[in-house]
Structure 1
Amino acid sequence: MDKRVIDVACGSKMFWFDKHNPDVEFCDNRTVPYHEYYPHRYIEVSPDTVCDFTALPFEDDSFKLVVFDPPHLTWAGDTSWTALKYGCLKGDWEEMLRKGFSECFRVLDPDGVLVFKWSEVQIPLKKILPLSPYPPLFGHRSGKNMNTHWLCFMKPKEALKDGK
């Protein structure tokens, strides 16, 4: 793989300045054709690779930067614009996110960085952090209600020595 960056749950690539950046492998478990989902609001989910972030089809240590912005809602109508735009966590979401973190660290280069975004609309960050095998280095709250967290992770050096 020649790309250095992977977004494992890209959705409609909302926060990307270049939604076709050739250095980014955009992944999502779904595709949604370009269409108007609300008057004058359009959406398209068009990943490079259709896959589940709990089982990424990439080699270990493949990417310098991993972006993990998983769905953060546990309830939303199946046909709602919210579910369409952001996705929805179904079933055992804690195990799903635990596996997602594990996969993100697996494909992350030993000196790479994982950027994680979480919105506390329905689930507080304090319930999410224990699902990661490693703690974040630092983070920042943002958004109108300060509900969105941006966190930065790296594999600890001890994990690299243990071959994890």
Structure 2
Amino acid sequence: MVASVLDPCCGGRMMWFDPSDQRCLFGDVRDETVSVTDRSHQEDGKRVIEVHPDVRFDFRGMPFDDETFHLVVFDPPHLVRAGRRSWMAAKYGKLGADWRDDMRQGFAECFRVLRPHGVLIFKWNETQVPVAQVLSCTSEKPLFGHRSGKRSGTHWMTFIKGSAIKRTPPAPQPTTSPA
């Protein structure tokens, strides 16, 4: 079976009900197991995250043909400030200083590999970067979304490729004269 869904920033596949679902191709720039000491979690302070994608690639330049996938789930790193050995950086990854260019390229790549009328699910946590700044990195507009999380800082948004529909006004209806 060929995967019809792409997760180009899969990380530890934490949001997936089935992290080995064969309908999805899991990609990430990282392929690693990271162990971090973080005393806030367990008595021994050990936390481990495993990032093992099906295919290793950078979301800014994906190795797929145009219009390959029906659905893309884009959950890129959202931190710009995090310690080198922090649990949050290990778990979610970290954006560089040129994160706006990275996000422009990432959105462009996600829409490029989507089939016409394909769906992009975008997840963003605005703890460090407001969602409006990230959305300014694409000309596409989300169709609808939802906020979640402890402080409603995580945004889930749905885009449809090619959804800019030119609306034509309805044709005038014939009027009937009163009898």
How far the C-alpha of 1:139 sits from its partner, in A, is 0.6
Give the Cα separation in 1 of the matches to 2:110 and 2:37.
31
CA RMSD of aligned residues (A): 1.7
Give the Cα separation in 2 of the matches to 1:15 and 1:90.
23
User: Which consecutive unaligned segments of at least 5 residues does structure 2 have?
Assistant: 39-44, 166-179
How far the C-alpha of 1:42 sits from its partner, in A, is 3.0
How far the C-alpha of 1:35 sits from its partner, in A, is 5.0
> For residues 131 and 49 of structure 1, do their structure 2 counterparts lie closer, same or farther at Cα, with a shift above 3 Å needed?
same
Give the Cα separation in 2 of the matches to 1:67 and 1:101.
11
Secondary structure in structure 2 of the residue aligned to 1:116 = strand
Asked if 1:45 corresponds to 2:51, the answer is yes
Instruction: Detail structure 1 runs of 4+ shifted over 6 Å in the superposition.
Output: none
CA contact (8 A) 2:140 2:159 kept: yes
Secondary structure in structure 2 of the residue aligned to 1:3 = coil
Q: Which residue does the alignment assign to 1:102?
A: 108
**Which of 78, 103, 109 is 1:72 aligned to?**
78
Q: Equivalent pairs: percent with the same residue?
A: 49
Q: Which residue does the alignment assign to 2:173?
A: none
CA contact (8 A) 1:37 1:43 kept: no
Structure (1 or 2) with the larger CA radius of gyration = 2
Q: Which residue does the alignment assign to 1:162?
A: none
How far the C-alpha of 1:36 sits from its partner, in A, is 6.7
Q: Which residue does the alignment assign to 1:21?
A: 21
CA contact (8 A) 1:101 1:133 kept: no
Secondary structure in structure 2 of the residue aligned to 1:131 = coil
Q: Which residue does the alignment assign to 2:3?
A: 3
Q: Which residue does the alignment assign to 2:32?
A: 32
Deviates more, 1:27-36 or 1:114-123: 27-36
Secondary structure in structure 2 of the residue aligned to 1:10 = coil
Q: Which residue does the alignment assign to 2:143?
A: 137
Give the Cα separation in 2 of the matches to 1:37 and 1:79.
8
Deviations 1:93-140 (A, max 9, x none): 000000000000000010210000000100001101111231000010
Give the Cα separation in 2 of the matches to 1:37 and 1:62.
40
CA contact (8 A) 2:71 2:120 kept: yes
Secondary structure in structure 2 of the residue aligned to 1:2 = coil
Give the Cα separation in 1 of the matches to 2:112 and 2:144.
20
Aligned length: 159
Give the Cα separation in 2 of the matches to 1:12 and 1:3.
19
User: Which consecutive unaligned segments of at least 5 residues does structure 1 have?
Assistant: 160-164
Give the Cα separation in 1 of the matches to 2:133 and 2:163.
25
Asked if 1:124 corresponds to 2:130, the answer is yes
Give the Cα separation in 1 of the matches to 2:120 and 2:60.
15
Query: What residue identity is the alignment partner of 1:114?
Result: L
Q: Which residue does the alignment assign to 2:119?
A: 113
Higher helix proportion: 1
